[in-house]
Amino acid sequence: MLNIRVQKTSNPKAKPAAGKLGFGQYFSDHMFVVDYLPEQGWVDPRIVPYGPLSLDPAASVLHYGQAMFEGMKAFCGVDQKMRLFRPDFHCGRLARGAPRICMPPVPQEIMMQGIEALIRVDQDWSPQAVGSSLYLRPTLIGTEAFLGVRASQKYVFFIIMSPVDSYYAEGVSPVRIHVEDKLIRAAPGGLGDVKAGANYAASILASTEAKKSGFAQVLWLDAVERKYIEEVGTMNVFFALGEKIKPTIVTPPLAGTILDGATRSSTIQVLRDLGYTVEERKLSMDEVVAHHQKGTLREAFGTGTAAVISPVGELHFKGEKITINGFKPGDLAQKLYEEITSIQYGKKSDRFGWTKEVALD
Ligand code: COI
């Protein structure tokens, strides 16, 4: 067991009103912090009052962007038990991604014990309503004060928590998407499969422009040919093609430029369990357009931790509008949302072994 020092706040904050949480606007009273030093490795794991970090202005994260993060959730179940959703997946992804930007992987036991200890200390920040959850943001940054371009020798790993509402106020609802054929998110050999802050920095201009034109997000195409579909906004993307009753589900493969999403992986498992054929393969916009013309483009949806399942109602591509399922949420998207959230809130048995109960005091 890790020896986590706990310093409680003397100034607890007022809790935000239920139903008005939004996403990532409020933060719990404490945070977990651990330092990495070149000689000692990971030292001084601690829970301290939530507040600003002290960073040297020359800290490498501020200049060369050595930063990555995770996004995961803890749910207060219908049985009042706290459950983490796929914590091993998130710990593994952070550990696997860190070496790509020359950061030390955070050991699984430090991350897991930090998460559980923080939830225990701030358990009364967990929203109760089904649909809401505690969003956890584990983050790893380079902190050495040095302006030469090389890997930092010092790091800080911290975890903060934000109570969040369900992404959808009134059920799962479809969005309008601009197919981005100029700007790219990630190129082969780059950082696309790592949850590095840099990928999100690269995405903001396209999503800002899209939002100005009335779209919710962009559909990213591949960096080489601007032909193959990669992700939708910050989410993985799925298309249901072919027969109406049991369409084939196609999602881009994990080939280096897209993120290995926890909800992507869960969606694939649920779909296969329900008897659907899921193909992880390259899918071009031309193929999607051809299915639309034939009337066999059944559904499209994004998958991510924040929204779980986000149906795509319209794609705008080179001046053409492609409406999907009459701009209504599809049966499959709704079924997947139900299946995954039922496991998250302990409404259904966890047949895939995805959740971990957090022992509360
Ligand atoms: C998600 O869909 O959960 C994300 O990755 C979005 C997050 C970066 C806010």
Q: What are the tens digits of pLDDT across the range 264-294?
A: 999 999 999 999 999 999 999 999 999 999 9
Q: What is the pLDDT of residue 18?
A: 84
Determine the distance separating the centroid of ligand 1 and the alpha carbon of 166, expressed in angstroms.
13
Query: What is the mean pLDDT of the segment spanning 102-126?
Result: 98
Which fold is adopted by the domain 175-344? D-amino Acid Aminotransferase; Chain A, domain 2 (3.20.10)
Query: How far out from the chain centre does Cα 65 lie?
Result: 19
**Domains of the chain: which residue ranges?**
5-166, 175-344
Determine the distance separating the centroid of ligand 1 and the alpha carbon of 225, expressed in angstroms.
26
Q: Locate all alpha helices (DSSP H) within the chain, ordered by sequence.
A: 60-64, 87-97, 108-121, 197-212, 262-273, 285-294, 331-344
Determine the distance separating the centroid of ligand 1 and the alpha carbon of 305, expressed in angstroms.
6
Check: CB of residue 169 under 8 Å from CB of residue 152: no
Task: Indicate the top mutation candidate among 218, 234, 260 to test ligand 1's pocket, ranked by most ligand atoms within 8 A of CB.
Answer: 234
Q: What are the tens digits of pLDDT across the range 152-176?
A: 999 999 999 999 998 766 668 899 9
Measured from CB, residues less than 6 Å from any atom of ligand 1 are 71, 234-235, 304-306
**How many C-beta neighbours within 10 Å does residue 295 have?**
8
Same fold: 5-166 with 175-344: no
- The token pair at 340 is 């995954």
Question: Does residue 78 register a pLDDT over 70?
Answer: yes
CATH of 5-166, one of 3.30.470.10, 3.90.1720.10, 3.40.50.720, 3.40.50.920: 3.30.470.10
Determine the distance separating the centroid of ligand 1 and the alpha carbon of 23, expressed in angstroms.
10
- The rounded mean pLDDT for the chain is 96
